[in-house]
A and B are shown apart, each in its own frame.
Chain A
């Protein structure tokens, strides 16, 4: 696994090497090895505290309607010609919530029609609508993977993801009060602004 920064620290050296292997296996199993750019894990069995912080690499782009459908405006209706079905269910959900079920019809597998009414017009920039954000699933998988890496007894947890940076802390006791400082220090050691 090639990460720009990958360090596991613990007062017990044998445990640190074991957790390096565990982190390696879990990230590979969840197909996250290429998504994660930096990862720094600290485990203190005395407190006990598991702290992981890192950054993601290049995030996958947002999926917009124009990426998989052709949008045609005609008097009274807007027709969407679907080229690829992967995001169809999500698209229908978004259209139903925006325009209502009575205005959205799907006459066949590859076509969606939206009634364009003068008092409730369809957005002229519909093709640019964001249908799905692949990074949402990625972050969910990442947090699940970090929980799999952390020792199981550490049930008090807190995690955060923002702008490609993530951290997760877990413990058997309440989390330490200086957690933000500890997280900041970890990012600083990775060469990231704390």
Chain B
């Protein structure tokens, strides 16, 4: 069964029927937003059942859209958190990526500015490496991008998508060895993105993130994970009821090959390891339960089936 990421938007009235339907079909609701009288469900559902969800949702005013970024966590990395880079373009991009289903986190580097002095700390690198991919928002000069990317990319293991003002070809030539993705004509600007050409630039960033993450998914599909991250989320929600008391918008953040569980590591790590998925297979057996560098959260990295000989 192939699960496809979708966004369902509809009225609050009787939306629980859609939630039940998705569960019955073997899908998962990753995140649910209730905005006044509207509800937005970010879900993973079986590909063949999308027409059924559309048909049942239509009388309730529901619409279904494919959202390739649902179930991913993306780091939006800016050289600093000063007026030069925030709120535009960093916040605009982070917000746009969220609208399309990804969970985006802004990572403002302490010393990411300057072509000669730019650097990242061990903590920053580890936080970025906890994501599915990192979008580096650099500036307007090709010369500076060329110099500073050498330092900024050091120690980053996740795919990097580089954005800047120079066109894609120039960005490609400026960075050696190549990074996973490039988006040109972005750079540094100091106004809100609202014109059509500016929105097109945001769409280009989303398209590049999608392309890079699809490649990552293909890579993972060659050696499938021992369990789907969405399934582990559902199991944890069922067996660790304390997760329902977490006030974060996403108490469990689903990634391509893991989860971020927003419970304190010291108290809950052992309990999570012993959570049973089915017939004696525990989370500790098929995944590494690690302390996250983000607050005191827990990071679960699911092992590939070749390593565990289990697929649940």
Contacts and interface: CB of A to CB of B under 8 A. Distances in A.
A15 B117 contact: no
Nearest to A10: B141
A45 interface: yes
B110 to A, nearest CB: 12
A21 B139 CA distance: 13
B177 to A, nearest CB: 23
Nearest to B148: A153
Given A22-B190, A172-B115, A14 B84 contact: no
Contacts of B117: 153, 172
B141 A15 contact: yes
A19 B144 CA distance: 15
B141 A152 contact: no
B131 interface: no
A86 B279 CA distance: 76
A120 B65 CA distance: 82
A29 B87 CA distance: 14
Contacts of A45: 115, 141, 143-144
Contacts of B143: 12, 45-46
B189 interface: yes
- Main secondary structure on chain B at its contact with chain A? loop
Interface string B100-136: 0000000000000111111000000000000000000
A18 B115 contact: no
A148 B84 CA distance: 6
Contacts of A22: 188-190
B305 interface: no
B82 interface: yes
A151 interface: yes
A152 to B, nearest CB: 4
B210 interface: no
A149 B263 CA distance: 42
Contacts of B166: 12, 14
B165 A14 contact: yes
Contact of B187 (A18, A26, A29, A155): A18
Q: How large is the interface on A (under 10, 10 to 19, 20 to 34, 35 or more residues)?
A: 20 to 34
A152 B80 contact: yes
B114 A172 contact: yes
A146 to B, nearest CB: 12
A18 B140 contact: yes
A119 B188 CA distance: 64
A34 to B, nearest CB: 19
Contact of B141 (A12, A26, A29, A155): A12
Q: Which of A12, A25, A29, A155: most chain B CB closer than 10 A?
A: A12
Contact of A21 (B85, B115, B189): B189
Given A22-B189, A22-B190, A29-B190, A152 B85 contact: yes
Interface in B74-101: 79-80, 82-85
B187 A153 contact: no
Interface string B129-169: 00000000001111110000000000000000000011100
A131 to B, nearest CB: 32
A48 B115 contact: yes
Across the A-B interface, give the 4 residue pairs with the lowest CB-CB distance, nearest first.
Answer: A153-B114, A153-B113, A15-B140, A152-B113
13 contacts: A12-B142, A12-B166, A15-B165, A18-B140, A18-B189, A22-B188, A25-B190, A26-B190, A43-B141, A45-B115, A151-B141, A152-B113, A155-B114
